[in-house]
Amino acid sequence: MDLFRIQGPVKLTGTVKVNGSKNASLPIIAATLLAPGKSIIKGTPRLSDIEVCCQLLESLGCKITKGDQGELNIDSANIDNPVGDYEIVRKMRASIAILGPLLARCRKAKVSMPGGCAIGDRPVDIHIRGLRKLGAQIHLENGYIVAEAPDGLTANSIFLGGPFGSTVLGTANIMMAATLAKGKTIIESAACEPEVTDLANCLNKMGAKITGIGSPRLVIEGVEQLNPVEYQIIPDRIEAGTFMVAAAITSGELTLENCKVNDMMAVVDVLRNIGVSVESKGDAAVVAGNGQLKTADLTTQPYPGFPTDLQAQFMALLSMSKGNSIITEKIFPDRFMHVAELNRMAANLRKEGPTVIVAGVDKLIAAPVMASDLRASAALVIAALAAEGTTIINRVYHIDRGYEKIEDRLNPLGANIIREKT
């Protein structure tokens, strides 16, 4: 098990390219199951989650080869085993995204209940409810979701809202299944995240008929078949936001290439309001901190609101602001395992239900800490860059799920991160 040894404080300067979106890549890779033949997905990041997704498709019968610069060549001509095995699915919650495509194409699927980060309860009942509305017969058996549609799926009107807003993976699953359903499916309260839009655009390029893309109301006209596709993944807005926060907390200046600022306006707005300069230049952004951070009151919300996947990183940043900030988590109310670890680094954080009160401190101090999940790992790296002394972060396999060799990308910018085996 690897750990990071990070020496701080440092000042990050230079240029870094934002990779393709992990959260867009995973459902798009799953979507290739809908179209027998060879698809090419370009720009996927080299992450452990992507590797798990490829292993999952190979276990179903797909043949996958990897090219340069994140290119995946996926041959889904033969799906001879429509089973999402527990030993693979338990590693990643997004594995549930194969359920809809398998059911639509094979008319049956058996997928283990998914695993993933420990950030609170994330039930799949909305996925199951939506697929049942499309005519699937579904039951649970020994920890597996068993779904059948012997006569194919039938279009319907489906409401996908949940207690914490729209479901991104649920929208993806139902949308993929509906592309091959008979008739016109209407999804109300669909997730509007850019990653969902990217999936819809990919499906349309495969021959689907989806309108209302980017809105809470998706209309899908079922088609007889979909065709293999060549498709380029959008930039990762969460990785971009993480690098922006890293620049801000170190009072540095970073140029982010391949950065779609228009997909992250809620994030940019908060940064500008607390005194961080963010300048958009075509497909790039220049982010600069000046060491004088103001406070903020932010609440995570479904897109276009502030993303839950950047909550932990901004908590690290605001821990060094001048005054008291308030962070409220409305997507995953239990997503606060990083609070105790940041407090070990001399942050002053107090959790009150789904809210954390952040009292700014003059400096963070290095300490041994434990990474609990993907985005918490990023928050600890960010804090370590600004902290005085050597921070040791254990269990960094979490960060490898969402950031490609982050030490190799930050060290040329001025970071001092050493990966060690334990």
Six token digits for residue 78: 């033969």
Q: Which of 121, 6, 9 is nearest to 363 (CA)?
A: 9
Type of residue found at 45: P
Check: CB of residue 16 under 8 Å from CB of residue 240.
no
- Give the active site residues: 117
In this structure, how many other beta carbons lie within 10 angstroms of the beta carbon of residue 363? 12
Q: Which of 306, 273, 310 is nearest to 292 (CA)?
A: 273
Type of residue found at 422: T
Residue owning tokens 């699953």: 173
Bridge partners (DSSP) of residue 419 are 4
In this structure, how many other beta carbons lie within 10 angstroms of the beta carbon of residue 168? 22
Q: Which of 22, 418, 419, 407 is nearest to 246 (CA)?
A: 407
Distance CA 247, CA 238 (A): 14
Distance CA 291, CA 11 (A): 11
Check: CB of residue 306 under 8 Å from CB of residue 237.
no
Question: For residue 61, with 0-12 CB atoms within 10 Å meaning exposed, 13-18 middle and 19 or more buried, which class applies?
Answer: middle
Distance CA 258, CA 268 (A): 16
What DSSP string runs through 355-369?
EEEEE--S--B--EE
Q: Is 143 helix (H, G, I), strand (E, B) or coil?
A: coil
